[in-house]
Structure 1
Amino acid sequence: MKKTFSEEDLIKNLSLYYLNRHLKKKPMEKYHRKIDESLLHDREKYKKKSEILLLNSFMHHFPEVQFENLICESPDFIAKFNDKKIGIELTEVINHLEMKKVESCLNKIFRQAEIVLEQENTTKYRGVYFLEFHTNIKFERLEDQQEIIQCICRSIQKNKAVGCVKSIRKSVHRRNVFITHEYNMNLFDELCSEKILELIEKKNEKFPYYDTSVDECWLVIVSDMNSLASRYTFIQDREHLQEVQSPFHKIFHLENLCGNITSIK
C-alpha cells in the first residue's frame, strides 16, 4: 500500500488511541479485524477504525451494545441493543474552528519530523512524544515550518526542550516515532451549547435519508479531546440542551478522554 501523508496520519491517530488505558481492546480488535476484512478502500478502513475508536467511551456506558454493521453509511454503524436494531450516527463537534487550520499544519509538521527521526534511527527514537510550544509560534507560515521541524527533532534527540518547543514528554511505543501536542486543560474553555444544537439541527435534516430498517436511530456527538479543535472543559448553558427537538430516538454528547456522557434526549 502506498503510504500518503493522509493515510499515515490516520494510522498515527489509531496508534495514539491504542495507548489509552481505558480502551476496551478486545472488542476493538474484533471490530478492526472485521473492518480489515471488508471491501472498503484502505483509506476508508482507517476512517472507520478512527470512528469506532471515538465510540470507545460510549461502549463503557453501553457494554451490551454489539456492533453488527461497521461499514454502512447513514447511519455510520448498526448495532444490536436490548433485542433492538439500533442505527448509530456519529459526528464530531468542533469547539475551536480557528484551530482546525493550525492543527492541520501541526500534524504535517509532526509527520515530517517523524520521517526525519525514523530515517535517522527508528529504534533509538521510537515512542510517543507530547510537545508543548511557546506562544505566538506561526505554524502556518511555510518559511517557519522547517525551523520548527528542526527544533522538534533536536528536542527529541536531546530529550529536552529546544527553541520553540516549551516542554517535551515521552511515552513508550514499541514500533515507530509518533509526535503529538501535549494536552493542557484550560479551566475556562467552554463549549457553547448552541454549537451542539446547531449540529443536531443539521443532522435532523438528514434523518429522513437514514436506513429505515432500524428500530431506533441514535445520534452520538463526540468531543474528540485528543484534538486541539474539539477539546473543552465545560458546556456553557447546558440546560438549553434539554429543549432540543429531534426525530432521533436518543441523543448523547460524549467526550472521549474521561468518558463523560450527557444524555440530551
Structure 2
Amino acid sequence: MKRAFSEEDLVKNLSLYYLNRHLKKKPIEKYHRTIDESPLHQREKYKKKTEILLLNSFMHHFPEITFENLTCESPDFIAKCNGKKIGIELTEVINHLEMKKMESNLNKIFRQAEILLEQENAAKYRGVYFLEFHEHIAIDNLEKQQEIILNIYKSIKKEKPVGVVKNLRKSSHRRNVFITHEYNMNLFDELCSEKIVELIKKKNEKFPFYDNSVDECWLVIVSDMNSIASRYTFIQDQQHLESVKSPFHKILHLENLYGNITSIK
C-alpha cells in the first residue's frame, strides 16, 4: 500500500511553506511521494524533501521544468527543460553561521511545546504561532530550556506573552499545532556577496565528479528566508558576482520568500 502524502511532510517536519500562497502543491506532493517510495534512508528522504521545497520558487521561474531523478547525488536532481537533460546542484548559503545552533535549539524547544499542547487538546490549539522573545534568553542551558518550553506553553494557552515570550501572533491552520520564530527583518541585514562567491568556488572543485550524461549542469544557490540563519535583506557588493568564473552552465541565486532570482551566470 502506498504511503499517503501527509501535509505534515510539508508543514511540521519541514517548514512554513504551506503559508506561501505560491506553493506548487501538486507537483510537490508528487515529488514527495516519489522520494518516499525510494529505497533511500529516512534521513536522506527528509533531506531530499527539504531540498525540493527550497526549489518551489525556482519552479515558478521555470514552469516548463520537470524532475526525472529526485534521489540522485552529484548533482542533487536530474530534470528535463526544453528538451535538454539538466543536472541541478542545490546549495544553501548561510548568512548567519552563529545563528545556526540557536535555530536548531529553538526548533527542539518548539517541538516540545507543540507536543504538550497537542497532548492536552490538539483541536483547541491547532494553528501556527509566531513567537518573539526578549533578548538574552539562555537557549543552551538545559534547565532554562524547560522554563522556555513552559513559558511558550502558557503563552499559547493564555493567548498573551508569558516569561521570555515578548510577543506572539497566531495564524490559522486546520490540522497541526506549529510553533516558529517571528521573522522580523533587519533593514541592514546584508548578505555579503563573498559568501556566495566562496560557495561557487567550492562547487567548482566538485564539478568534474558530477554526472556527465547531462546536457547542462546548473548551480542553484538558495537563501532560505524561513530560516533565521539564512535570511537577508540585500546582497552587499553584488557587482562582485559579475566576474565569477565557473564550469556550471547556469548559476542562480534564489530567495524563497518572494521568489526573487538573480542570474549570476
TM superposition score normalised by structure 1: 0.94
3-state SS in 2 of match to 1:94:
coil
**2:203 — aligned with what?**
203
**2:116 — aligned with what?**
116
Q: Displacement of 1:18 after TM fit?
A: 2.2
Contact 2:36–2:45 (CA under 8 A) maintained in structure 1: yes
Aligned-partner Cα distance in 2 for 1:209–1:66? 23
Greater Cα offset, 192-201 or 123-132: 123-132
State the Cα deviation string for residues 130-172 of structure 1 (Å, max 9, x = none): 1011112121122211111111000110111111111111112
Q: Displacement of 1:16 after TM fit?
A: 2.3
- Over aligned residue pairs, what C-alpha RMSD do you find? 1.5
Structure 2: state its 5+ residue gaps: 1-7
Aligned-partner Cα distance in 2 for 1:193–1:152? 37
- 1:206-245 matches, within 5 Å, as 206-245=206-245
Structure 1: state its 5+ residue gaps: 1-7
Q: Displacement of 1:221 after TM fit?
A: 0.3
Greater Cα offset, 216-225 or 140-149: 140-149
3-state SS in 1 of match to 2:179:
strand
Aligned-partner Cα distance in 1 for 2:216–2:110? 41
Aligned-partner Cα distance in 1 for 2:88–2:15? 24
Aligned-partner Cα distance in 1 for 2:99–2:125? 29
Q: Displacement of 1:11 after TM fit?
A: 6.1
3-state SS in 2 of match to 1:131:
strand
Q: Displacement of 1:26 after TM fit?
A: 1.6
Q: Percent same amino acid at aligned positions?
A: 82
Aligned-partner Cα distance in 2 for 1:88–1:63? 15
TM superposition score normalised by structure 2: 0.94
Q: Does 1:19 align with 2:19?
A: yes
Contact 2:253–2:262 (CA under 8 A) maintained in structure 1: yes
Residue type of the partner of 2:221? I
Residue type of the partner of 2:220? V
**1:28 — aligned with what?**
28
Change (3 A) 1:215 1:9: closer
Residue type of the partner of 1:200? I
